[in-house]
C-alpha cells in the first residue's frame, strides 16, 4: 500500500511538471516566437500535450487499474516520442540550405572587419571591397548574385533554388553563421522584405544577433539599405548598432 501511494505521488508530480510546462509555453508563447518559428512552437505544444495525456493515463491506472489503462500510458508516451522525433528531424532537415561562402575575386580586401550599413545597390562595389574574401548573400533578388557567381540564400516563401522562408529567422541565422569564419563577408540585400514579413523589431533583433555571432568569428557583415524605405526612428536604431560605410572614401584609399 505504501509502495502504491509513493508511486501514485510520483506520477502526480510528473503530471504537475508537464502541466506547468504547458502553462509556461502558453503564457510566454510570444517570447518564444522571437527566437523560434511559430510552427515549431505549436508542434512542441502538441508533443507536450501528448505527454500530459500519457502521465494522466498513468495516474488513472494507479487509481482505477484495468487491463486497458495498464498499457494506455505506454501507447500515448510512445506516440509522443515518435511524433517529437519526427518533428525534430523534419525541422533540422528544413533549416539547412546547402550553400557555403566562396571567394569571388582575388586580391586584397579593403573592408575592415565589422558590421556596416551601406547606402548602395551596386553589388560590384561590394565585391571589389571584399576581394580575397569569401562572400555569401541573403537577398530578395537573387539574379544579380547568381550572375556574379555569389552564393546566396533567396528570401522567398516559394520553394526554389536556395530559397528560405523569410519568417524562419532562426534558420536564416543558422545558415549564415554556421559556415562563416574570419575570411567571410555576409551581405544582406533584402532588409525591406524582412521587415515587411517580420516587423522591424524582430528584424533588428535578428540583425544584432547575426552581428554578434559574426563578430565573434571575426567575419564581416554588410547590410545594403535604402534610407527612403525606412522610418527615421528605424534608421536611427540601425545606425546605433551598425557603422555607416563610406564606399567612396574606401575606394579612393584603394586606388
Which residue has better confidence, 80 or 10? 80
Domain architecture of the chain: domains with CATH: 2-95 (no CATH), 102-254 (3.40.50.300)
Which residue has better confidence, 8 or 16? 16
Rounded Cα–Cα distance for residues 223 and 192 (Å): 11
pTM attached to this predicted model = 0.67
> Chain-wide mean pLDDT for the chain?
82
pLDDT of residue 24: 82
Mean pLDDT throughout 106-110?
A: 74
Local confidence band at 112 (pLDDT 50, 70, 90 cut-offs): confident
Highest mean pLDDT among 40-44, 51-55, 102-106, 236-240: 236-240
Rounded Cα–Cα distance for residues 230 and 55 (Å): 51
pLDDT of residue 2: 46
Rounded Cα–Cα distance for residues 255 and 253 (Å): 6
- Whether pLDDT at 221 is above 90: yes
Which residue has better confidence, 93 or 116? 116
Rounded Cα–Cα distance for residues 229 and 134 (Å): 29
Q: CB neighbours (10 Å) of residue 123?
A: 20
Amino acid at each position: 500500500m505504501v509502495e502504491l501511494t509513493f508511486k501514485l505521488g510520483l506520477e502526480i508530480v510528473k503530471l504537475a511538471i508537464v502541466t506547468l510546462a504547458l502553462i509556461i509555453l502558453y503564457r510566454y508563447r510570444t517570447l518564444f516566437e522571437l527566437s523560434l518559428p511559430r510552427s515549431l512552437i505549436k508542434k512542441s505544444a502538441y508533443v507536450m500535450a501528448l505527454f500530459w495525456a500519457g502521465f494522466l493515463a498513468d495516474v488513472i491506472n494507479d487509481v482505477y487499474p484495468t487491463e486497458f489503462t495498464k498499457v494506455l500510458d505506454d501507447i500515448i508516451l510512445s506516440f509522443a516520442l515518435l511524433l517529437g522525433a519526427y518533428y525534430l528531424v523534419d525541422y533540422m532537415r528544413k533549416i539547412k540550405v546547402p550553400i557555403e561562402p566562396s571567394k569571388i575575386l582575388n586580391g586584397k580586401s579593403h573592408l575592415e572587419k565589422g558590421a556596416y550599413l551601406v547606402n548602395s545597390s551596386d553589388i560590384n562595389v561590394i565585391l571589389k571591397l571584399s576581394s580575397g574574401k569569401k562572400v555569401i548573400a541573403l537577398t530578395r533578388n537573387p539574379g544579380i548574385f547568381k550572375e556574379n557567381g555569389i552564393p546566396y540564400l533567396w528570401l522567398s516563401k516559394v520553394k526554389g533554388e536556395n530559397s528560405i522562408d523569410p519568417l524562419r529567422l532562426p534558420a536564416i541565422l543558422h545558415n549564415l553563421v554556421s559556415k562563416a569564419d574570419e575570411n567571410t563577408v555576409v551581405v544582406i540585400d533584402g532588409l525591406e522584405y524582412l521587415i515587411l514579413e517580420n516587423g522591424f523589431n524582430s528584424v533588428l533583433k535578428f540583425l544584432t544577433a547575426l552581428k554578434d555571432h559574426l563578430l565573434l568569428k571575426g567575419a564581416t557583415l554588410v547590410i545594403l539599405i535604402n534610407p527612403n524605405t525606412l522610418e527615421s526612428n528605424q534608421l536611427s536604431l540601425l545606425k546605433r548598432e551598425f557603422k555607416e560605410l563610406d564606399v567612396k572614401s574606401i575606394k579612393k584609399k584603394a586606388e
